[in-house]
Every structure is written in structure tokens, then in C-alpha cells.
Amino acid sequence: MNPAPPPSPGAPGEPHRPGASPAPGGEAYLWDGTGAPDPTVQRLEEALEPARWRAGQTDVRRAPSTITRPLARAFRPKPMRILATAAGLALGCAGLWIALRPPTSTTIVSSDSPSWQVTALAGAPKVNSDIVRDAAPVRPGQWLTTDATSRASLAVADIGHVTVEPDSRMRLIATGTREHRLELARGTISAFIAAPPRIFLVQTPAALAVDLGCIYTLTVAPDGSGRLAVQTGLVELQRKAGSTSPADISRVPAGAVCLIDPSRGPGTPHDPDAPAALTSALAQFDRLDTGAQTSTYASRAALDVVLAAARPADAVTLWHLLARVNQTARARVVDALQASAPAPADAPRSEVLRLDAPAVESWWRSILAAR
Amino acid sequence: MLRLTPRHADGAPAAPSPEPDPAALVNAARGGDRASFARLYHLFAPLVHGVLLARVRPHEADDLMQDVFLRAWRNLASLRNPSAVGAWLAVMARRAAATHRRTRWARAMISLFYDRSAAREPVDPRPAPATLTADEVLAAIRSLPVPYREALTLRLVEQMTGPQIAARLGMTHGSVRVKLCKGMALLRAHLQPEITP
């Protein structure tokens, strides 16, 4: 008996690990056209070749053939056609009635409710207690859970996707034209969203992440603490949902991170490459921050370290401190921020010191533009 | 034999020609540079076409292409992250397809008031060929679970590689690889009698 062949490097469907052996020939051809051609894939490519987009084929809109004849000649109502149309209208009205009737109080999740599609990337993620073998819908109210060996990809309606990492638990709360909201109880998700701002929202135990058009990774620990890292775009973390107070909002731009405390909520965003002295002092400042701009000896000492260690790349951190310190300390923050990222002409010092919103926002836009 | 990778005469892979920076094209197009938008169109037309084909019939996809890019031209200013223009266009394509499918019944009702011979597509009197047709394969792809359709149409129809699909849609390689492999497995099972050599 011939010995069994050695296992192929990387089972089909598993993520390709950098530095690993190339995928088996057939899968490699499907993946990037290299390796030995897969006969079935080739046959399908040849069959589908006529459907491929080609430059020039869609440059001129084709008029629908149904409106090429004069209306007087084209309109030939016949008895069977009239009956078919009437039946269609009746069915349409019935469908409209069914769609618009008020939901019953016992209907929380129905098979007709909108859903997102979840795909298993590895292992056996679950929707509630059901294992996702390949793909399955997730509806509002349902939990998606991954264990230590499973990962999943979640299509966020038609605006993007979320990758759910191992040991994560999240729930779809709502999905609609104006808002898509999920709850991340624990674990890590990476979101890629291409939509107008404030449509995709993620609730954590201590913060609400509001997508402003971006790619980010959000991690929540079992105790409710968390970390947000933004790759592109901007995410707004709200300490209190709906609050517009600058002290309650942490804006995390691309390249920045923000820690979330389980009891106090989002901290102050910072550069992940900031000096250790700055990040540890900032963490202490955030721990002591009550949101009321009070100043204790410990918080003043922490602020001193932050201001001394701040670099030009820490302008985002310094800008957030403007609203988190009292007026006495704010002058020192303005001085440090001015050295890192000079204020624009429409953000005079006097107005920034009293937290005049247009001046403060103008300085924020200037800081973002310089990143 | 179809090949995804351009090769020299000796079979060695040819160096791919550099792609223009999509973000730079978006920024230029926002300033009214139509030539840059034209380049964006040619760069992302296969992506948009593939996304549409995953949801509607080929002739419908061709019609909807214009709608998608016209809407993109008008709304370029609203794109907050120019480097994500591919994913943004994919979103618009999905919505265009969804709207088109929702109104399909209305168009069908309207077509009943016209001479059926004008509404009916011409029938080829020749006997059906034994080989698979593009329509048959696309119908099979559209019958698969939603997560797999786009990856398959972009790879098999538009000849985009896995890395290109991931880059255009902002997905990880692992996610695209899973969707291609599992989708292909389901497609094989669906078309087994037809594609068995």
C-alpha cells in the first residue's frame, strides 16, 4: 500500500501565513493564477469570458427594447394580460399590507427581519447556539461568538465588513438605512466601512464608537476595558451617548489609539509611538480625570510630564487636553500645542482659552490636515 | 489557456505595470479633472462590473454600470477616505443592484402592457450547445450564499487575483481566500454534471 501523501501546506480556505509554503497547486491558481492550472477553474473562466467587462461596452446606455415601439401600437391589452396584471396588483397590495402591518409584541427576531451575512473564516463560530459551517445570517438580537480557534467575517449590510477575531462575542442590535449598530461585549473586531459618517456604531461596555468613515480595530476585554486603533479615517468615542461636550468625546484619527476604561470610558487619544513617559503620565491623568476639569496635585504632576514629553506628533493628544483641564492649566496646554501644531489664524489664543467652539474646531481641522 | 499573470515568451512572469494611485486620481477628479475620473473608471470598472454581476444578469449589470459611475462622479466630494474608493464604489454597486431588483416587479408589470413579442428576448433557434454558457455559470454563482458571489465573479469573470480583490475591497487576504475556496467548492458541487470532464 502506498504511504499517504504528506498533508498539503495550508488547508483550503485557511489564511495564508507569510513565509509558509505555497498553497497547493489548484488553490494557488484560484488565488492568484500561479501554479498548476485548475482544469475546472479554467473551464469556468473560458465559459465566463463573454461576460467580462471590456472598455467601451458600457460607454453608451442601451435603451430598453420595450419602449422602441410607438405607444399606440404597443399597447394591446388582451384579456389574459389584464387578468395577469390584476392578479399581480392584488398580490402587490397584499405584500404591502403584510410589510406595513405593526409587528406583534412577541416578534423579536423573525425570518423576515433584515440580517447581515457571517462567513466562517476559521474554526466554528456560532450564531447563538448554531455553528456557522460556511455562511449564515445574523439578525438583530442574535449573538455571534468565536472561540479561541475561530474567526468570522461579517458583511455590514452593503457598506463594509467586520472581521471578528478569536474569543469574541458581539451582537447585532439594529440594521437599517440610517444606522447599523452592534454591541461588542468582548474580543476584537476590525471594521472596514465605506459609508457616510455616523451610520456604523459599535457599543462597548464603556464607550460608543461612532464611525466617521474608516478602518479600525476595536478590542474589549472581559472587564469592559478596551483599545481602539484607527488605521484610516476617523472614529469618535463617546463617553456618554449623545453628549456633545468636548470632554466626553475622544476623536481618534488615523494612526492614533485610544484606551477605554471600564468605569470612566474613553481616555485621551495618543500616538502609539509616543514616549513611554508620555503614555504612562497620560494614563494617570485619564485615571484622575473626573470630567469636571478639577485639578489635583497628582493630575497636575501627570499633566506636567505629558506637556514636557509631547512632540509635534502628539498634537492630537494636546488638543484633547484643552477641554480636560481647568483654565489655569489650559494656558500651558495651548503653549505646548502651539509649539507642536501652530494655531490657524481663526483660532486666536483668547478664544481657545475660553473653549470657543469655532476656534477649537478650526485648530482641530488644522491638526488633521497636517497629519 | 487563460492566464492571469502576464508572462514573457519564456514563461517567466512579467513585471506588472505600476497602477495609478487611486487616492490621487480621486483628489484630481474632485477638482474637475475628467481625465482622472476616466482613469478611475477604467481602473475600477472590472470591480464594479463584477459586484453587479454577483447580483443581477449581465445585460442589467451593463446598464447599471453607468448609473453607478454617474452617481460616483456626482458624489465624489462625499468620499471621506479617497484611498477607499474601491470599497465605496462597491457599496454603490450593491445598492444599485438592490434597487434594481426591488423595482424589477414594477418593470415586469409595465412590460405586460406592451406587445409581448417586443418584450421577449430573441430566441436562438439553434440547438443549445453542450458546453456551459456564461449565463448558466452566473446563475449558479447567484444561487450561492451571498458572501461567496462577489469573490467568485471578480476572480472568474473579471480575472482579478485574490490579492487584487482584497486590496480593492479593503478585505484581508485570509477573508478573500476563504470566500474563494469555499465558494468554488460550492460552485463545483452545483455544476458537477456539467463541468465533469
**Nearest to A219, CA basis, from A190, A194, A250, A192:** A190
pLDDT band at A89 (very low <50, low <70, confident <90, very high): low
Q: What mean pLDDT value characterizes chain A?
A: 80
Beta bridge partners of A168: A146
Nearest CA in chain A to B160: A32
| Rounded distance between C-alpha atoms, residue A207 and residue A261, angstroms | 9
Beta bridge partners of A184: A170
Give the torsion sign (CA, A73, A74, A80, A83): negative
Q: Are A183 and A173 in contact, with CB atoms under 8 Å apart?
A: yes
Cα–Cα–Cα angle for A107, A109, A114, rounded to 5 degrees: 120
pLDDT band at A274 (very low <50, low <70, confident <90, very high): very high
Whether ipTM exceeds 0.90: no
Chain B residue numbers with beta carbons less than 8 Å from the beta carbon of A120 are: 178
Tell me the average pLDDT across B167-183: 91
- Range in A7-11, A53-57, A100-104, A207-211 the model is least confident about: A7-11
pLDDT band at A328 (very low <50, low <70, confident <90, very high): confident
pLDDT at site B101: 81
pLDDT band at A83 (very low <50, low <70, confident <90, very high): low
Q: Are A183 and A223 in contact, with CB atoms under 8 Å apart?
A: no
pLDDT at site A78: 57
Query: Which of A43, A48, A162 best probes binding to B when mutated, by most B CB atoms within 10 angstroms?
Result: A48
Q: Are A363 and A370 in contact, with CB atoms under 8 Å apart?
A: no
Give the torsion sign (CA, A69, A70, A73, A79): positive
pLDDT at site B147: 84
Tell me the average pLDDT across B1-8: 45
pLDDT band at A292 (very low <50, low <70, confident <90, very high): low
CA distance A45 to chain B (A): 5
Asked if residue B105 has pLDDT above 80, the reply is no
Q: Are A123 and A146 in contact, with CB atoms under 8 Å apart?
A: yes
- Range in A168-182, A192-206, A345-359 the model is least confident about: A192-206
Q: Report pLDDT digits (tens) over A16-53.
A: 444 444 445 568 999 999 989 999 999 999 999 999 99
Chain B residue numbers with beta carbons less than 8 Å from the beta carbon of A88 are: 105, 108-109, 112
Asked if residue B8 has pLDDT above 60, the reply is no
CA distance B120 to chain A (A): 9
pLDDT at site A167: 96
pLDDT at site A5: 39
> Measured between CB atoms, which of B105, B108, B157 is closest to A48?
B157
Asked if residue A8 has pLDDT above 60, the reply is no
**Nearest to A246, CA basis, from A342, A355, A326:** A355
Q: Report pLDDT digits (tens) over B106-164.
A: 666 666 665 454 444 455 555 445 578 899 999 999 999 888 999 999 999 999 999 99
Give Dmax over CA atoms of chain A in angstroms.
90
Question: How many angstroms separate the Cα of B51 from the Cα of each of B58, B98, B151, B164?
Answer: 11, 11, 8, 14
Asked if residue B11 has pLDDT above 80, the reply is no
pLDDT at site A220: 95
pLDDT at site B111: 63
Query: Which of A17, A46, A53 best probes binding to B when mutated, by most B CB atoms within 10 angstroms?
Result: A53
> Taking CB atoms and an 8 Å limit, are B62 and A49 in contact across chains?
no
Q: Is B35 exposed, middle or buried (0-12, 13-18, 19+ CB in 10 A)?
A: exposed
pLDDT at site B145: 87
| Rounded distance between C-alpha atoms, residue A31 and residue A16, angstroms | 10
Tell me the average pLDDT across B16-24: 77
pLDDT band at A159 (very low <50, low <70, confident <90, very high): confident
Beta bridge partners of A218: A189, A228
Tell me the average pLDDT across A134-157: 93
| H/E stretch holding A265 | strand A265-266
Contacts of A100 (CB under 8 A, 6+ apart): none
Taking phi over 0 as left and psi of -120 to 50 as alpha, with beta for the rest, B108 belongs to alpha
Query: Which of A17, A34, A38, A44 best probes binding to B when mutated, by most B CB atoms within 10 angstroms?
Result: A44
Query: Could you tell me if B90 lies within 8 Å of chain A, comparing CB atoms?
Result: yes
> Measured between CB atoms, which of B62, B116, B182 is closest to A134?
B182
Tell me the average pLDDT across A164-186: 93
| Rounded distance between C-alpha atoms, residue A237 and residue A189, angstroms | 15
**Nearest to A160, CA basis, from B145, B182, B156, B172:** B172
Q: Where are the alpha helices (DSSP H) in chain A?
A: 25-32, 39-48, 71-74, 79-100, 276-288, 297-309, 315-321, 327-340, 349-353, 357-370
SS3 category, B38: helix
